[in-house]
Amino acid sequence: MATQAEAPVLDVRNLTTVFRTRRGEVHAVNDVSFHVAPGELLGVVGESGSGKSVTMMSLIGLLPTPPAEVRRGSVLFQGRDLLRMPAPELRRVRGGEIGFVFQDPMTSLNPVFTVGQQIAEPLRKHRGMDKRAARARAQELLELVGIPDARRRLSDYPHQFSGGMRQRVMIAIALACEPKLLIADEPTTALDVTIQAQIIDLMKRLREELGMAVIWITHDLGVVAGIADRVMVMYGGEVAEQAPTRALFREPAHPYTRALLKTVPTVRGARERRLTVIDGQPPILTEPPSRCPFRDRCAQAWGRCHRADPPLYPVSEGHDAACFLHDPQAQGAREAAHA
């Protein structure tokens, strides 16, 4: 895990992304700021539609424009702003210095090219390797991610691999150029629990061996509890809370985070805690953010929550929550209103 003194490998500030549709603009990502230190694993969690994947795809220019537009913000990767980088340079960074593992390997892998060809492509493009050297390195990468008989399987096509093996191939492609940052977008969602555990163990080992930073996007709090150094909770296209993993699970500060944790099954001794659901629906993002996005589902919401969108307030060291409950002045006004 990185120390506090190290400069972040990625520093995102006030990122805002909208989609232009026939019904108006969809405010998918609103003023999102976070950082990732070298060697750190940041878990990004939230319900479907919370803005997790759109945020990460905005960082590296993977959204179609139009309809998407990154309206403002900066994305500093090792001091260089990706949002203002010329397209050819961004393509060199993407895949060379930043790896991306997509959620569904079957739609991400090209069915008409062999696995060996697809792993070798970034090596030839970004590292300038010849065909023989790239194939030899591709074999090493397949061995690294735990695929048996790697030399023979280089000539196989994606459909000849199981779901877990295809995901390992995607990881091999993402790691081909030894990136400083790896973004994994729900890499275990479509896999059974045994294969999920294998992929998670693989990522832990590779992170330790290669020393890369990782952003792990998921809706599964149980996964990030076991692998993440810090967790960022997103809701309605905004950061609801971010904290060191242990602090977030022990003392969640945002009502949405507390509600999420109550949906996770746990067993305490012989008694199972009854699961709960979060009543209501996620917000419709066709209006600019001007109120707390969680207000209509929050039992602790009060007048100000319906009039303003809370910023991130410090809760403790390295722990922030976007909730007026942590604004001393607003909390005093709330108590006076309910007196």
Question: Which ranges constitute the DSSP H helices of 145-298?
Answer: 150-153, 163-175, 193-210, 221-227, 245-250, 255-262
- CA-to-CA separations, 121 to 134, 182, 187, 224, in angstroms, rounded: 8, 18, 21, 31
Residue 86 to residue 258: CA distance in whole angstroms: 42
Tokens matching residue 190: 């479509």
Query: What average pLDDT does range 308-315 have in this prediction?
Result: 93
Give the list of residues 6+ apart from residue 267 with CB closer than 8 angstroms, or none. 273
Query: What average pLDDT does range 295-309 have in this prediction?
Result: 89
Where does the pLDDT of residue 2 fall: very low under 50, low under 70, confident under 90, or very high at 90 and above? very low
Residue 169 to residue 26: CA distance in whole angstroms: 34
Residue 271 confidence (pLDDT): 55
Global pTM exceeds 0.95 = no
* 36-84: pLDDT as tens digits: 999 999 999 998 889 999 999 999 999 988 899 999 999 999 999 999 9
Residue 29 confidence (pLDDT): 95
Q: Which residues pair with 268 in a beta bridge?
A: 271
**Sequence ranges of the domains in the chain:** 101-176
**Which of 192-196, 213-217, 272-276 has the weakest average pLDDT?**
272-276
Tally of residues, the chain: 339
Residue 12 confidence (pLDDT): 96
β strands within the chain, DSSP E: 10-21, 24-36, 41-45, 68-77, 80-81, 98-101, 181-185, 213-217, 230-235, 238-244, 267-268, 271-272, 313-316, 319-321
